[in-house]
A and B are shown apart, each in its own frame.
Chain A
Amino acid sequence: MSNIIEVKSLVKKYDSLTAVEGISFEVKEGEIFGLLGPNGAGKTTTLEIMETLRDKTSGEVTICGLSLDKSPNEIKNIIGVQLQAAGYYPNLTLVELLNLFAGLYNVDVNTMEMLDLVDLKEKAKAKYKELSGGQKQRFSIATTLINSPKVIFLDEPTTGLDPQARRNLWDLVNNIQSKGTTVMLTTHYMDEAEFLCHRVGIIDKGKIITIDTPNNLIDHLIKKGFKRPKQVKEATLEDVFLDLTGKELRDE
C-alpha cells in the first residue's frame, strides 16, 4: 500500500508554547489511522494543519502527492473534514445544508442518498438544531463525504456520545473505509482505536511516541512483562450496559 499522507517534521509554535514539536508519520491508502493522545497533546492542531485550517511553523505535509504549501485549495477539494466543534446554520434542514455544501464543493449530490448513508433519511426535513448529539456527528460526517474525498479527517468523532451512538458511528466509519476512503481520526478512547484503527500513532506533548498496529503495540507491552493488576473478565461493564439497554440507537 502506498502512502496517501506524508507528514515530515511538522512544527507548530504559538507565542509561548510549542503545540507540535516536529512530528512525522505516514498514512497508507485505504487504512484507518488513529492519532491517539491525551487532551492538549497536539492532535487537533496536527489535524487542522493537515486540513489547511491552520498555518504551520515548519515541516512538510503531502496529501495525495499535493503539497500543502503549494496547493492548499486542491487539497481541500479531495479531503473531507469533520471538525471537533463545527456548526451549521441552525435553522436550515439537513437537505438544505447538504445542498449548501454541494454548492461549496461544486458537486451535484443526491441528498437523500447521502442522508441514507448516515442513517438520517427520516430526518431530512429536520433542522440541524433539532438533532441529537449522535445525529449531529453523523450529519457532520455526511458533509465530509459530499465531494467523494480520498481522505476524511474525523476529530474526536465519538466524544460525548452514548455507547449505542458510539458503536453506530464505528459501523459508519468502517463502512466508509470499506468503500475505499482513507480515514484519519483522533480519539482518546483506546477501545475505539483498538476496534477501528489499522494503525495508530500515540502523541503526547507535541511529539509522536510510537506508531504501529494496535495488536503489535499490545504484544510489545506484554513482551516487556506487563501484567494487568486485575484479572480480566470475559466481559466489561460496557458489555453489560449494552446487553441490558440494547444496541439500538436512542437518539431518534
Chain B
Amino acid sequence: MERKYNQIRAMLSISKASLKSITRNPSAVVFNLLFPLIFIIVFGFIGGGGFSVDLAVEEKSDMENPVIQSLQNIKTIKLKTGIPDEELKTKLEKGQIDGVIGITKGFVDNKISYNVNLKTSSASMDRGSVIKMILNDIVDKINLSKINIDVPLARLNEQIVEGRKYKTIDFILPGQLGFSLLSAGIFGTAFVFINLRQTFVLKRFFATPIKRMYIILGESFARLIFSIFSAVIIIGIGNFVFGFTLVHGFVTFLNMILLSIIALIVFLGFGFLVSGIAKNEHAVPPIANLITLPQFLLSGTFFPISNFPSWLQPVAKVLPLTYLNEAMRKIAFEGTSLFGVGNDILILLGWGVVIYLLAAKTFKWE
C-alpha cells in the first residue's frame, strides 16, 4: 500500500465501461434519442404552416371578376377549384372545407353587378366567420373604389408589432427533452442496477477495493454523460433542422443543458427507487411506467397544462416533469436565466430530496 487507493480513478473506470455498455445497447439509444427525435420530426413537419382556411369555388362560378382576383392574393385563403358541386355540400358539412363561394355575373341598369354567394357551415364556424369577414372587406373595397371618394371619412391604420414567432417545435422540443431525461433516468438506471445485481457484476465489484457509493456514482455519471449527449443532439437537430428557438443562442443552449443535468440527477433517484422496489427486471416496466406515463401525458409534454380540465390541473401541478417542462420552455423561448426559473428548480430539487430518501431506504445491493 505504497500508493493511496484512488476511489475516483476506480469510479471513472466504471463510468467508462458503463458508457460503452450503454452505447452498445440498442434499447438505450432508442429510448433516449430515437423516440424524442421521431416526435420532434413529426411535430416539426406538422407545425409551421400558419393559419389558413379552405374556400371552395363552385364549378359554375364566374372566375373573371375582381373578387376572385383579390381572394387569390390573400395568403390566409386557400382557394380550391375543381371539386364537383355534389361533393361540396358533404365536404362542407364534414368541415373538410370551410366555405363555398359561387359568383354570378349580372347586369343592373346595363351595369355589371356581381352576386357573391357564400355558404359556410356550423362544422367550422370560426373559419367560416373569417371567410365572411375577408369577403366583406373585399366587397367593400371594390365598391368604394367605384365611388371615387377624395377624403375618406375614416381610415384604419394598422400597425403590427413584430413578435417572436412561437412555433410548434418551440413547444414540443422542451417537452420531448424533458421526457427523454425522465425515461433515461428511470428506465436506464432501474434496468442497469437490477441487471448488475442479478448477473453478479456488482458482487464482483464488491470484491475490489472500490467503495459502494462510488460504484453508484460511476454508473450514474455514465448515464448522465449519455443523456446530456442525447440532449445536445436533440436540441441541435431541433435548432438547425426545425428552427427551434434559442433566444440567446449559445447561452440559452448552455442553460438548457445545465437544467437537463439538474433534472437528470433528480430523475436518477426515481430509477434507484424503482430498482429497489422491483424484485426482478420483469417488474421494472410496470413500476417505471406507473411513474413515467402520467407525467408523459399530464406534464405538458404534448399539450399546455392550461388546456386540461380544472380538476386535472392540480394533479399536473404536482408532477416534477411539469416543472422541468415549464422551466425548459421559459429558458428556451423567453430567454429566462436559471435563476429566473429558480422556483421550478427548487420544486424539482424538493422532489429529488424526497425520492432519494425513499431510494436510500429501499435500495438493495444483492
Whether, in the assembled complex, B199 has its beta carbon less than 8 Å from a beta carbon of chain A, the answer is yes
- Total interface residues on B, using CB and 8 Å? 28
Q: Is the CB of A143 within 8 A of B204?
A: yes
Q: Is the CB of B200 within 8 A of A104?
A: no
Q: B1-38 CB contact bits vs A (8 Å, 1 = yes)?
A: 10101100110111011101100110000000000000
Q: B248-284 CB contact bits vs A (8 Å, 1 = yes)?
A: 0000000000000000000000000000000000000
Whether, in the assembled complex, A88 has its beta carbon less than 8 Å from a beta carbon of chain B, the answer is yes
A76 in contact with B203 given A100-B17, A104-B13, A106-B10 (CB within 8 Å): no
Of B14, B199, B200, which one neighbours A100 at CB under 8 angstroms?
A: B14
Q: Is the CB of B206 within 8 A of A53?
A: yes
Q: Is the CB of A87 within 8 A of B199?
A: yes
In the assembled complex, the Cα of A55 lies from the Cα of B1 at a distance in Å of 24
Interface residues of B in 333-358 (CB under 8 A from A): none
Q: Is the CB of A97 within 8 A of B207?
A: no
Interface residues of B in 208-225 (CB under 8 A from A): 208-210
In the assembled complex, the Cα of A89 lies from the Cα of B22 at a distance in Å of 10
Q: Is the CB of A81 within 8 A of B204?
A: yes
Q: Is the CB of A106 within 8 A of B203?
A: no
Whether, in the assembled complex, B205 has its beta carbon less than 8 Å from a beta carbon of chain A, the answer is yes
A76 in contact with B204 given A92-B20, A106-B3, A106-B5 (CB within 8 Å): no
Q: Is the CB of B201 within 8 A of A52?
A: no
In the assembled complex, the Cα of A81 lies from the Cα of B17 at a distance in Å of 20
Minimum Cβ distance to chain A for residue B18 (Å): 7
Q: B171-215 CB contact bits vs A (8 Å, 1 = yes)?
A: 000000000000000000000000010011101111111100000
With both beta carbons as reference points, the residue of chain A lying nearest to B209 in the complex is identified as A76
Whether, in the assembled complex, A210 has its beta carbon less than 8 Å from a beta carbon of chain B, the answer is no
Q: Is the CB of A91 within 8 A of B20?
A: yes
Q: Is the CB of A104 within 8 A of B6?
A: no
Contacts of A18 in B (CB 8 A): none
In the assembled complex, the Cα of A106 lies from the Cα of B10 at a distance in Å of 7
Minimum Cβ distance to chain B for residue A8 (Å): 22
Q: Is the CB of A104 within 8 A of B14?
A: yes
Q: Is the CB of A103 within 8 A of B21?
A: no
Instruction: From B3, B12, B20, name the one whose CB has the most chain A CB atoms within 10 angstroms.
Output: B20
Q: Is the CB of B5 within 8 A of A73?
A: yes
Q: Is the CB of B200 within 8 A of A87?
A: yes
In the assembled complex, the Cα of A193 lies from the Cα of B207 at a distance in Å of 25
Of A74, A81, A100, which one neighbours B16 at CB under 8 angstroms?
A: A100
Contacts of A87 in B (CB 8 A): 196, 199-201, 204
Q: Is the CB of B13 within 8 A of A83?
A: no
In the assembled complex, the Cα of A53 lies from the Cα of B365 at a distance in Å of 11
Contacts of A79 in B (CB 8 A): 207
Q: A79-98 CB contact bits vs B (8 Å, 1 = yes)?
A: 10101011111111000110
Q: Is the CB of B13 within 8 A of A51?
A: no
A89 in contact with B209 given A73-B5, A106-B5 (CB within 8 Å): no
Of A85, A97, A101, which one neighbours B208 at CB under 8 angstroms?
A: A101
In the assembled complex, the Cα of A106 lies from the Cα of B203 at a distance in Å of 18
Whether, in the assembled complex, A189 has its beta carbon less than 8 Å from a beta carbon of chain B, the answer is no
Q: Is the CB of A89 within 8 A of B204?
A: no
Minimum Cβ distance to chain B for residue A150 (Å): 13
Whether, in the assembled complex, A105 has its beta carbon less than 8 Å from a beta carbon of chain B, the answer is yes
In the assembled complex, the Cα of A76 lies from the Cα of B207 at a distance in Å of 6
Q: Is the CB of B205 within 8 A of A104?
A: yes
With both beta carbons as reference points, the residue of chain A lying nearest to B25 in the complex is identified as A91
In the assembled complex, the Cα of A243 lies from the Cα of B358 at a distance in Å of 61
A104 in contact with B21 given A86-B204, A87-B201 (CB within 8 Å): no
With both beta carbons as reference points, the residue of chain B lying nearest to A102 in the complex is identified as B13
Minimum Cβ distance to chain B for residue A186 (Å): 15
Minimum Cβ distance to chain A for residue B203 (Å): 6
Q: A168-197 CB contact bits vs B (8 Å, 1 = yes)?
A: 000000000000000000000000000000
In the assembled complex, the Cα of A24 lies from the Cα of B89 at a distance in Å of 97
Whether, in the assembled complex, A39 has its beta carbon less than 8 Å from a beta carbon of chain B, the answer is no
Whether, in the assembled complex, A99 has its beta carbon less than 8 Å from a beta carbon of chain B, the answer is yes
Q: Is the CB of B9 within 8 A of A103?
A: yes
Whether, in the assembled complex, A77 has its beta carbon less than 8 Å from a beta carbon of chain B, the answer is yes
Contacts of A85 in B (CB 8 A): 200
A-B contact pairs, 28 of them (CB 8 A): A52-B207, A53-B206, A73-B5, A73-B209, A74-B1, A76-B207, A76-B209, A77-B1, A81-B204, A83-B200, A83-B204, A83-B207, A86-B201, A87-B200, A90-B199, A91-B24, A91-B25, A96-B20, A100-B16, A101-B208, A102-B13, A103-B9, A103-B14, A103-B16, A104-B10, A104-B13, A104-B210, A105-B10
Beyond contacts A100-B13, A103-B16: 13 other A-B pairs, Cβ-Cβ < 8 A, are A52-B206, A53-B207, A73-B5, A76-B208, A77-B1, A86-B203, A92-B17, A100-B17, A103-B14, A104-B10, A104-B13, A105-B10, A106-B10
